[in-house]
Amino acid sequence: MADKVELRVRRELLDPNFDGYKLSLDPLPTYTCKLDNGIAFTSLSEDQYSYHHAKLFGVHNHLYLDPWNTDYIYFIDSGWSIVQALSTGAGVTITSNAGIIPDLNRQNSVNGRLNASLCFVSEDMAVVGDGAGKLHLYFTGARNCSQLWKIVFSNDPLENSTPFLLVDAVLHTVDSAYKLECLCVHVVECDAEQKDKYRATHLTVMEWITISSGDKITWVQERSRRLYGRRPFDYAAFSKDGSALIVGAEADFVFEYDSLKPVREEEPMEAETNGQEKPEPEYTWSQNSEEVTALFTLPSGLTKADVYFILSHDFIDFGIKNGNHLLKGQLFGDIDVEGSTWKIQDQRVELTLSKCEEQVWSHIVVGDNRGEMTMDPAMIAQIHERLAGLTSDQLNPDPEEGKEKPYNSQQLEECDVFPEESSSLMRFDGDTHKITHQTNTGSHQFLFSASLDKDKSSALCLRHDVDGIMWQPENQCKETELPWQHVATFNAFGYVQASKQNRKFTLCAPDCSFAVICDIWRHAYVYRQPAPIATPVRNRKDGRQISHVAKQQVVSLECTDHIVGIKATSQKLYILTESVLHAVQISS
């Protein structure tokens, strides 16, 4: 069974006094470079009519940034050349055709093909999926020179040469062997058995392909794994060590096939299958707004000297010397060490932890399900009191009455509505096929994903109330550890994005200094993090002194072609249309 983990927000990264974005008329220098050929662009066919197909085509970004040298930008033109462009202080220029994707004419005729895609996996290697069923591994050499990329491996990784979209790729080492993990995604129409099993007409299929080599010259396909999802995904990425796959989707994905190991469906708990009662809890615990209390029963004959107690603000190790742990692991929330204690009387041990924040704990230790919570009467009364505030005898109560905010939580658009099914963020172990960690994200809409660090998986931004919060997946994660960390906050960004009905792309800078919403054509909106101003000003409504201002800037492109790609560094924003590459100077 997967460990249910919470999205633990870091309070120090939130700004409860955020005043909104101030429109700035300061111009952003924009440089343009016309393309010799158009972009390799594939549209939906008559057979690709499902929501799964629309989602797969709609999220595709045709612009690629080299994470090992962010001065170089790449795209695939209509002649299937991988075009390299160089960004300089004076603008952006096309330098060369770095590589060629083979079999243009034949592959263009493949029925049901998808867009070609490119992933950089190391300083000298890149992977291309041609969208028509072929996977190509290139040796690029040093990408700051003009040498032509060389194909070292080419294959049809899926059965029947099925067309796919390359979503992610990771190169790592196991012992002395090189392993390349590729995530190839396509959509299938359900047969009668699948319709009954998944209650869907189409499935999104994730093919996890492993290619291996001992010398980075000769490569072979070693393993193939497959996952099915009855709803499209919002986020999918490998951990950088290649051992896990992280998926964010509107419904659960499940493992269906592994070429090396049989996939077994997760069996129900033994106590339930045998008709037995649920096993007795090893301890009981209760809580109120200020503290958590746990009760344990010790074997007879033990004294206080037989018990050890190690405690920090977020970790506990409490147990019997040379014996079992009573509690050990990451605490659900921060505690006051000085205000926490324990006592023993006969065989009964009582542990008291003092909370730092008034929040309801679902566990004492993350992932520990051995205890049973008993509700404290005072806590029940407090919950009822909070729930009473959510009801009213008025037809249309105004929760914002007496408050000044730059946004109104009553003004919800259709895009603000949470999905009917429970969305979740899942971390799959590639060998056991199990979900090791899972978080329910049904109340947190997916906003966008962005690469913040080339040595880590892409981060994802979820909506929390009106804010956008960036969550960074960890490369390696034990069962008792949190698999994704809160690393940055974009104030009121969930509210801002909901207001942009023509948006197509959303992303942020690697240092999270700004976020961008890009329309279908012509406009991009830049939202900067609050920055200090030279002369503090006062809010005329409440008299508060304001020393930091968050700016909003608008980029208007002269070209009216559709925008097909967007990437950002900490200094520049790159926007690709059907005929022009734009470079926008965000900071000097």
Cα 410 to its chain centre, rounded Å, is 28
Among residues 116, 134, 33, 128, which one has the least CA distance to residue 78? Answer: 116
Identity of residue 458: S
Residues 247 and 288 both lie in one domain: no
Residue 7 covered by a domain: no
Domain assignment present for residue 251? The answer is: yes
Residue 273: predicted pLDDT? 41
How far is the C-alpha of 231 from the C-alpha of 98, rounded, in Å? 37
**Residue 181 and residue 75 share a domain:** yes
> How many helices (H) does the chain have, and how many strands (E)?
6, 40
Cβ-in-10-Å burial (0-12, 13-18, 19+) of 581 comes to buried
- Determine the pLDDT at residue 274: 46
0.85 surpassed by pTM: no
CATH of the domain at 329: 2.60.40.790
Please tell me the total count of domains within the chain. 2
28 vs 575: CA distance, rounded Å: 13
The mean per-residue pLDDT over the stretch 168-184 comes to: 95
pLDDT band at 395 (very low <50, low <70, confident <90, very high): very low
Q: Which two tokens stand for residue 238?
A: 């490998």
Spell out the residues 6+ positions from residue 480 whose beta carbon is closer than 8 angstroms to its own: 3, 329, 330, 365, 366, 367, 368
pLDDT digits (tens, 9 = 90+) for 129-161: 999 999 999 999 999 887 899 999 999 999 999
Grouping H, G, I as helix, E, B as strand and the rest as coil, residue 460 is strand
Residue 4 has pLDDT above 80, yes or no: no
In a domain, 392, yes or no: no
User: How crowded is residue 450: how many other Cβ atoms within 10 Å of its Cβ?
Assistant: 19
The enclosing domain of 105 has a CATH number of: 2.130.10.10
Tell whether the torsion through CA atoms of 501, 412, 24 and 588 is positive or negative: negative
pLDDT tens by residue, 272-318: 444 455 566 788 888 888 899 998 888 877 888 888 899 998 889 88
pLDDT of residue 480: 65
Tell me the C-alpha distance between 546 and 15, whole Å.
13
Based on the fold, state whether residues 306 and 183 are members of the same structural domain.
Answer: no
Q: How far is CA 439 from the centre of its chain?
A: 12
Residue 380 confidence (pLDDT): 47
296 located within any domain = yes
In a domain, 165, yes or no: yes
Using alpha carbons only, what angle is made at residue 94 by residues 89 and 99, rounded to the nearest 5 degrees? 135
- C-alpha–C-alpha distance, residues 488 and 271, integer Å: 43
Residue span of the structural domain in which 318 resides:
282-369
Q: Do 253 and 302 share a structural domain?
A: no
Per residue in 466-485, pLDDT (tens digit) is: 999 999 998 877 766 788 99
Burial (CB count <10 Å: 0-12, 13-18, 19+), residue 44: middle
Computed over its alpha carbons, how large is the radius of gyration of the chain? 27
Residue 293 CB-density burial (10 A; 0-12 exposed, 13-18 middle, 19+ buried): middle
Q: Is residue 401 part of a domain?
A: no
- 431 and 473 in a single domain? The answer is yes
Mark whether 464 and 556 lie in a shared domain.
Answer: yes
Same domain membership, residue 148 and residue 36:
yes
| Whether residue 28 is found in the same domain as residue 129 | yes
pLDDT score at 587: 84
Asked if residue 93 and residue 210 are part of one domain, the reply reads yes
Say how far apart CA 294 and CA 281 lie, in whole Å. Answer: 12
Instruction: For residue 196, give the amino acid letter.
Output: D
532 and 568 inside one domain = yes
Judge if 340 and 253 occupy the same domain: no
Higher local confidence (pLDDT), 436 or 398: 436
Residue 406 belongs to some domain of the structure: no
CA distance 115 to 61: 10
Taking residue 469's Cβ as centre, other Cβ atoms within 10 Å add up to: 24
**Within a domain: 458:** yes
d(CA 473, CA 475): 7
Beta-sheet strands, E only, within 190-259 = 202-213, 220-229, 233-238, 244-249, 253-258
Same domain, 54 and 197: yes
Measured in whole angstroms, the distance separating CA 574 from the mean position of its chain's CA atoms is: 22
Share of the chain above pLDDT 70, in %: 87
Of the three residues 335, 351, 369, the one that is the final residue of a domain is 369
- Identify the domain boundary among 351, 369, 387: 369
The strands making up 348-355's β-sheet, listed across from edge to edge, are 335-345, 348-355, 291-297, 283-287, 371-373
Task: Inform me whether the pLDDT recorded for 376 exceeds 60.
Answer: no
Which DSSP letter does residue 379 get? H
